[in-house]
Structure 1
Amino acid sequence: MRICVFGAGAIGAYLGACLTERGQHDVVLVARGERLAAMRHGGVRIEGPGAGARTVRVRGADDAAALPAQDVVFLTTKSHDAPRAAAALAKLVGERGTLVTAMNGVPWWYFQGLAGQHQDRILRSVDPDGALGGAIPAAQIVGAVVWTAATMRAPGVIAVEQLLRLPLGEACGGRSARVDGLAATLRDAGVESTALEDIRAEVWLKLWGNLAFNPVSVLTRASLAGIARDAGGRAAVRAMMVEAEQVANALGVRFPVDVDRRIAMAETIGAHATSSLQDLDAGKEIELAALTGAVLEMAALTGVETPTIALIHGLTLLRMRVRDADTRR
Structure 2
Amino acid sequence: MGGHFAARLAAAGHEVSIVVRGAALAAIRARGLTLLSGPERLDVRVKASDDPADLGHQDLVISTLKSSSLHVLAEGVQPLLAPDTPVVFAQNGIPWWYTHGLPQSPLLPRLRWLDPGGALEEHVGLRRTIGGVIFSSNEVMEPGVVRNDSPEYNALFVGEPDRSESDRIVKLRTILADARLASPSHHDLREVLWRKLIANMTVSVLCMITGQTAREAVEDPIFGDTVPRLMAEAVAIAAAQGYSIPPMPPGYRAPDHKPSLLQDFLLGRTLEMDALVKAPMAFARAAGLASPTLDMLGALAQRLAANAGLYRPVAAAG
Per the TM superposition, whether the score is higher than 0.5 is yes
Aligned ranges for residues 307-322 of structure 1 at < 5 Å? 307-322=292-307
Amino acid at match of 1:63: D
Aligned equivalent of 2:164, options 166, 174, 177: 174
Alpha carbons 1:43, 1:56 under 8 Å: kept: yes
**Are the structure 2 counterparts of residues 321 and 144 from structure 1 closer, same or farther at C-alpha, using a change threshold of 3 Å?**
closer
Give the aligned partner of residue 229 of structure 2. 239
> Which residue identity does 1:95 align to in structure 2?
P
1:159 aligns with 2:144: no
Q: Secondary structure at the match of 2:57?
A: coil
Give the equivalent residue in structure 2 for 1:183: 173
CA contact (8 A) 2:131 2:161 kept: yes
What CA distance in whole angstroms lies between the structure 2 residues aligned with 1:80 and 1:169? 22
Aligned 1:160-309 pairs, distance under 5 A: 160-163=148-151, 164-255=154-245, 258-261=246-249, 264=252, 267-269=253-255, 271-309=256-294
Contact kept? 1:44, 1:157, Cα under 8 Å: yes
Aligned equivalents of 2:73 and 2:48: distance in 1?
Answer: 17
Match of 1:6 in 2: none
Which residue type is aligned with residue 21 of structure 2?
Answer: R
Q: For residue 22 of structure 1, what is the aligned residue in structure 2? A: 12
Higher relative contact order (CA 8 A, sep 6+): 2
Cα 1:95–1:103 shift into 2, 3 Å: same
Moved over 3 A (4+): 118-122, 321-325
Distance in 1 (alpha carbons) for counterparts of 2:251 and 2:53: 42
Q: Which of residues 93, 96, 99 in structure 2 aligns to 1:105? A: 93
CA contact (8 A) 1:112 1:119 kept: no
Percent identity reads 30
Indicate conservation of the 8 Å contact 2:233/2:294, yes or no.
yes
Paired residue total: 308
Secondary structure of 1:145's match?
A: strand
Cα shift readout 1:212-234 (whole Å, capped 9, x = no counterpart):
11211111111111111113335
User: CA-to-partner distance for each residue in 1:48-83, whole Å, 9 max, x for gaps?
Assistant: 315x02311111121113433322110101110002
**Unaligned stretches of 5+ residues in structure 2:** 311-318
Deviation at 1:120, TM superposition (A): 9.8
The answer on 1:12 being equivalent to 2:2 is yes
In the aligned structure 2, how far is the partner of 1:173 from the partner of 1:36? 36
Residue by residue, what CA displacement relative to the aligned partner does 1:82-104 show, whole Å, maximum 9, x if unpaired?
Answer: 02321423553353111111111
Q: Are the equivalent residues in 2 in contact too, given 1:179–1:195 (CA < 8 A)?
A: no
Q: Who is 1:140 aligned against?
A: 128
* Correspondence for 1:7: none
Give distance in 2, aligned partners of 1:144 and 1:310.
27
Structure 1 residues 26 and 118: CA distance shift in structure 2, 3 A? farther
SS in structure 2 of the partner of residue 139 of structure 1: coil
Residue 33 of structure 2 corresponds to residue 44 of structure 1: yes
Q: C-alpha distance in 2, partners of 1:314/1:73?
A: 34
AA matched with 1:26? E
Structure 1 CA distance for aligned equivalents of residues 306 and 107 of structure 2: 35
CA 1:194–1:312 in structure 2 vs 1: closer, same or farther (change >3 Å)?
same
Matched, 1:54 2:39: no
In structure 2, C-alpha distance between the alignment counterparts of 1:113 and 1:33, rounded to whole Å: 38
Deviations 1:18-63 (A, max 9, x none): 111122x33101111111111111111111315x023111111211
* Superposition TM-score, scaled by structure 2 size: 0.89
Say yes or no: does 1:114 pair with 2:102.
Answer: yes
Distance 1:246 1:125, change over 3 A: farther
Q: Tell me, in whole angstroms, the C-alpha distance in 1 between the residues paired with 2:269 and 2:92.
A: 16
Structure 2 distance, partners of 1:124, 1:162, is 34
1:117 Cα deviation (Å)? 2.3
Q: Give the TM-score normalised by the residue count of structure 1.
A: 0.86
